[in-house]
Chain A
Amino acid sequence: MAEDVAAVGAPAEVYRSYLKKGKLGFQRCRGCRSAIFYPRVLCPVCGSASFAWEESGGGGTVYATTAVYHRDREPHNVALVDLEEGFRMMSRIEGVPVEEVEVGMEVAFAVREEDGEPAAVFVPVAKTGEG
């Protein structure tokens, strides 16, 4: 059941608490039904202040991708992922060499610890055969 955004605390804290439980939280506007990310207290689409937290199913598609290179270590991926619920976030695609991450790749949410904080990352969805 959707909770009222004001009742559950500061948007950034609620997002973090979802991640700490291994979940990807986002908000949905009760006015225009837009999926909202990053979390706020006002809908950037319609201006409504009435919206609720939901848990994402974690399925998404790579919208854009880059490999960031370093002089002294291996490159790392940075990607924008479009979630099935209709919001986009920056993240990292793991479990695949950085230059094999492609726009359009199907990915799934996972949690990693990043500098002592939980962070949302994504891993490629294994291609399975029919049936």
Chain B
Amino acid sequence: MSLRAGAAIVGVAESDLGEVGPGFTPLDLIGQATSRALDDAGLEKVDVDGLFSASAYYHMPTLSVGEYLGIRPRYSDATNMGGSSFVSHLFHAASAINAGFCEVALIAYGSTQRSASGRLVSGSEALPYEAPYKPRYPVSAYALAASRHMHEYGTTREQLAEVAVAAREWAKLNPKAFMRDHLSVEDVIDSRMVSSPLSILDCCLVTDGGGAALVTSAERARYLAKAPAYLLGAGEAHWHRNISQMPDLTTSAAAESGPRAYEMARLGPEDMDVVMLYDAFTINTVLFLEDLGFCEKGEGGPFVSGDRISPGGELAVNTNGGGLSYNHPGMYGLLLLIEAVRQLRGECGECQVADTNLALVHGNGGVLSSQVTAILGSEETL
């Protein structure tokens, strides 16, 4: 049984983003995003019978979200493997819909980490074989990967900075982006070092924000308000929890999740019009472009250089400005999906990539740990 084009995303919305102010809770943002996503889809709350969420705030997130929204799901999935969870939720929701266990699934997330503390809120336990050495999580883990990539392939800090600059060029075109001032490679190199070789501008933003996505069967999707974004392929993989257990710091499990998604979709990287990669740090974009087959292993540095992933470049990557410049509310995976759906619908204003019919979304979670790839297509691709 294939999942290919069996389900589609039919409604998407962000909550308010950036800095929402004191007092608002993550559940408030989930409520806001859900209300907007239902309007976007032309669905009612009573239609929702499947609920998917992950959180650093709520120990049993689907219970908290279900209660707040007044949704009584018959299918509930609180899978948490970090920021990729929401791409995984899409995969799992499509599976449940295909199997007949629910008909309309809500995937929801919210975070007030900027207003609450200005720091990443993490529910992570201490890792006993790493904690004594005081890495700064998660950045030090990504810094270790960057150090290895530089050693093996000659990747430079300038090339990593190109990722941040390209993200900023997209963000300049996106009114919802949190950071829209001009940014140069030199600005990134000269910014405060956090965990070498990554400086503060190699790191994603810390913002408030949330989102909601509604998923239903392809049959039902055709009768709703907006053009469906069909799930054509999905794959997930994870190999480690501690960065010290990652087999090869220059190759992530995206090298498995990607091919799984391509195989289901019967497509390859060369077919993608828009590529949304979870850019928690600049090294992520380099690794995922390699692992997902957009360039050879080790060629990610040159690939991102010379404005090739900027607006008007050879490959449209992170067209909202990414976690680096648009928004990154702790876990970012749902916002990747939202942008991909809007690109397929042609709703992205100045960020719109012409003739977009296929979008790849790649979620990352933990410390390069969980990797989830989804391929979305418009009606034309069926």
Contacts and interface: CB of A to CB of B under 8 A. Distances in A.
Task: Check if A and B associate.
Answer: yes
Interface of A: 12, 37-38, 63-69, 75-76, 78-80, 88-92, 98-99, 103-104, 114-115, 117, 119
Contacts of B150: 103
Nearest to B143: A66
Contact of A68 (B192, B195, B244): B195
B128 interface: yes
A115 B132 contact: yes
Contact of A90 (B129, B195, B198): B129
B17 interface: no
A107 to B, nearest CB: 14
Nearest to A69: B193
Contacts of A69: 192-196
Residue of A63, A66, A90 most packed against chain B (CB within 10 A): A66
A69 B193 CA distance: 6
Interface in B177-207: 192-198
Nearest to B152: A103
20 contacts: A38-B242, A38-B245, A64-B147, A64-B249, A66-B143, A66-B195, A66-B198, A67-B196, A68-B136, A78-B144, A79-B144, A89-B129, A90-B130, A90-B133, A98-B196, A99-B196, A103-B147, A103-B150, A117-B132, A119-B133
B243 A90 contact: yes
A64 B133 contact: no
Contacts of A115: 132
Contacts of B145: 64
A103 B196 contact: no
The list of the 5 closest CB pairs from A to B, nearest first, reads A66-B143, A103-B151, A64-B144, A90-B244, A38-B129
Contacts of B129: 37-38, 89-90
A76 B135 CA distance: 9
B134 A68 contact: yes
A12 B131 CA distance: 14
Interface of B: 128-130, 132-136, 140, 143-145, 147-148, 150-151, 192-198, 242-245, 249
Given A64-B151, A90-B135, A115-B132, 12 more contacts: A37-B129, A38-B129, A64-B147, A66-B140, A66-B147, A67-B196, A69-B194, A69-B196, A78-B140, A80-B244, A91-B133, A103-B150
A104 B150 CA distance: 12
A92 B242 CA distance: 16
Nearest to B249: A64
Contacts of B244: 38, 80, 88-90
Contacts of A66: 135, 140, 143-144, 147, 195-198
Contacts of A76: 134
Contacts of B196: 66-67, 69, 75, 98-99
A92 B151 contact: no
Given A78-B133, A92-B133, A63 B249 contact: yes
A116 to B, nearest CB: 11
B132 A68 contact: no
A89 B136 CA distance: 16
A34 to B, nearest CB: 12
Contacts of B148: 63-64, 103
A66 B148 CA distance: 10
A79 B244 CA distance: 9
A67 B133 CA distance: 11
Contacts of B243: 80, 90
Residue of B130, B151, B243, B244 most packed against chain A (CB within 10 A): B244
Contacts of A37: 129
A67 B147 CA distance: 10
